[in-house]
Amino acid sequence: MGFLDKIKQQATDVATTVVEKTTDTAKTGQLQMQLRSLKGEEKEALADLGAAMIALGETPNSLADQTTKVHELRDRIAAKEQEIADVRQAEGAAADASSETVESEAEEVVDTPPKAADGAAPDDTPAG
């Protein structure tokens, strides 16, 4: 594989890594927004539960519905938090797998002057 082919392959690898990381970051952001929404729903359910508890003297049977809703929302929040943790863990594993950089794969090119066939010194010595 020629030098330019190697550079082209490395550029393609870098671009692929950037796309994957951007996709992972977007996924994590989306999951975090869903988590915030669920926490908002939990807050509303807790407010409803509090209002029902205040009215406990009048309607004690209504507490079961609010309690069930709070427990369901907490289960969904825990599941969403686990999903975010799984995505972050997958991102970490992907980052570890693709941790090689362009510099780590680059080859150093050293320009050395060719030796003369007759054993004479290179052209930079004064003729004399």
Burial group, residue 45, by CB count within 10 angstroms (0-12, 13-18, 19+): buried
Q: Which residue has the tokens 């509090």?
A: 50
Domain boundaries, the chain: 16-87
99 CB neighbour count, 10 Å cutoff:
9
Predicted TM-score (pTM) of the model is 0.47
Each residue of 56-78: pLDDT tens digit? 655 556 677 777 888 888 899 99
- Please give the Cα distance from 27 to 33 (Å, whole number): 10
Each residue of 12-50: pLDDT tens digit? 888 888 888 888 888 888 889 999 999 999 999 988 887
- Please give the Cα distance from 48 to 42 (Å, whole number): 10
- What token pair was written down for 94? 């992907």
Contact 19, 79 (CB under 8 A): no
Give the CA distances from residue 41 to residues 2, 65, 76, in Å, rounded to whole numbers and listed in that order.
59, 14, 11
- Please give the Cα distance from 55 to 60 (Å, whole number): 8
- Please give the Cα distance from 90 to 11 (Å, whole number): 23
Q: How is residue 110 annotated by DSSP?
A: -
